[in-house]
Amino acid sequence: MTIVMVTDMVTSMVTYKNVVEATIDIIREAETQLPDDVIDALKSATQNESSDVAISQIDAILKNIEIASNNNIPLCQDTGILIFYVEIGRELKLDIDLKGAILEASRIATQEVPLRPNAVHPITRSNSNDNTGDGIPDIKYDFVEGDQLKITVAPKGAGSENMSALKMMNPTELKDIRKFIFETVLNAGGRPCPPIIVGVGIGGSFDKAARLAKAALLRKVTDMNDEEKGILKDINSLGIGPMGLGGDTTALAVHLATSYCHTASLPVAINIQCWANRHASVVLGGDE
Amino acid sequence: MEYHLSTPLKKEDIEGLNAGDIVYISGKVLTARDEAHARILELKEEGKELPFSLEGAAIYHCGPLMQQTDGTWRVVAAGPTTSDRMSKMTPVLLENFNVRVLIGKGGMNNVADAMKEKCVYLAYTGGCAALASGSIKNVPAVHWLDLGMPEAVWELEVHEFGPLIVGIDTKGEDLFTSIKEKARSSFLKL
């Protein structure tokens, strides 16, 4: 028992090399293994489905998850662009090139996992071939309590990202937020690879709302309050179904996230996530 | 109904398929997405030959993840991409080439008329790239690699590739559109 606890608590020191290696590991994990809560949600969806075509689609997804995990290959050929969330403990002494380490890990992972080279220049469309480029990967930094470094990677595919939406609503249009969510899901139809997970950012600013929506996708699928469950139920009543082929499972979860905003503003962002809600984390440091 | 088809395909091979049927394909499929579609149409416009044949072909909307070892390409993961991005270019493609099958995900908009008596749209479960790679046996050729790995045209030799659901048949029946229409009327009741 003591040994297990000690093993659990031992973490690597925050060195450049350790950050590179740990980051490669979480990229591989995220690309090849889906978190258990998503798998469980898909499994329970098959129990509640009335459409045979829908069941065939979810069965194919579950089979795909198993093959990817067993063979250690990416779940989806769209290995996404890499989004990183870095939480830095404010007591941690950080004297390494953290961004450089994450970029290097992304390049190595592109070769080793492997990942599809997805990063292109927005205008010339020329491919950097290593999933890095100006502003890519997207790394978000935050300071937290403690003396550790937590890195989370969430590869984001384009199919679902392209179906996302943002609206600067009027503050008096609060009751139209639900309508905006339903319209966005309806417009997306089968294109974002349903069953989807819907992240909604309400408040903040133009960009903050989008960041809230994206970070909400990291929450556990089952972590929903009554309001979120109600919106989920209504989305599933649309009958779009897995892959837009009809059925009761259009979405697995709805996650709302809010932030204070300007008294004259009501920004609402909806970030759509495909069933492959890939993310993995690692914690370094805190052992000195 | 379940069908097992082999490429190259004739019009007769696909005429009996109805929206909702299940299909498995063996033979050769060619991947093509945004940039490849644009180049095919560009070359056609200029009266130039394509480096591959689209006669009786199955086009797969897919940007695969490939790996090259000792000069040989192998598929790591190759699921379908969102077909709708090719919706605008597809009618012109079908006017000029006898493509019989389009494989992709999510359905397409305003192509059912252009596909009548010519071509079917088959839906493969989106994101199932690891599953798909199991039925891809060989990579005989790659064209236009200058477009980048996802956008190049990859010739894939497949065996019993599927299950594919007929999304749009040769009679103009479009499963995705009818489901979307039903969803729209449910939305209005919310």
Do A155 and A214 touch, CB atoms closer than 8 A? Answer: no
- What is the structure's pLDDT at A286? 80
**A93 by DSSP, 3-state: which?**
coil
Peptide bond before A192: cis, by omega within 30 degrees of 0?
Answer: no
Provide the token pair at B151: 């956008």
Residues whose CB falls within 8 Å of the CB of residue A125, separated by 6 or more in sequence, listed in order: B35, B148
Compute the distance between CA of residue A69 and CA of residue A33 in angstroms, rounded to an integer: 5
Per CATH, domain B2-189 is 3.20.130.10 = yes
Provide residues of B within 8 Å CB-CB of chain A: 20, 22, 35, 62-65, 67, 76-79, 81-82, 84, 105-107, 123, 125-131, 133-134, 148-150, 163, 165, 167, 175-176, 179-180, 182-184, 186-187, 190
Active site residue B37: yes
CB contact under 8 A, B123 and A193: no
Segments making up each domain of chain B, as ranges: 2-189
Q: Which residues pair with A126 in a beta bridge?
A: none
Do A246 and A51 touch, CB atoms closer than 8 A? Answer: yes
User: Cβ contacts (< 8 Å) between A183 and chain B: which residues?
Assistant: 187
Residues whose CB falls within 8 Å of the CB of residue A3, separated by 6 or more in sequence, listed in order: none
pLDDT tens string, chain B, 190 residues long: the values are 999 999 999 999 999 999 999 999 999 999 999 999 999 999 999 999 999 999 999 999 999 999 999 999 999 999 999 999 999 999 999 999 999 999 999 999 999 999 999 999 999 999 999 999 999 999 999 999 999 999 999 999 999 999 999 999 999 999 999 999 999 999 999 8
- For A206-225, b where at least 16 C-beta lie within 10 A, e where not — what string? eebbbbbbbbbbbbebeebe
Do B131 and B107 touch, CB atoms closer than 8 A? Answer: no
> Residue B82 — φ and ψ, nearest 5°?
-70, 110
Across residues A192-202, what is the average pLDDT? 98
Provide the token pair at A6: 């000690």
B90: left (phi over 0), alpha (psi -120 to 50) or beta: alpha
Compute the distance between CA of residue A20 and CA of residue A282 in angstroms, rounded to an integer: 12
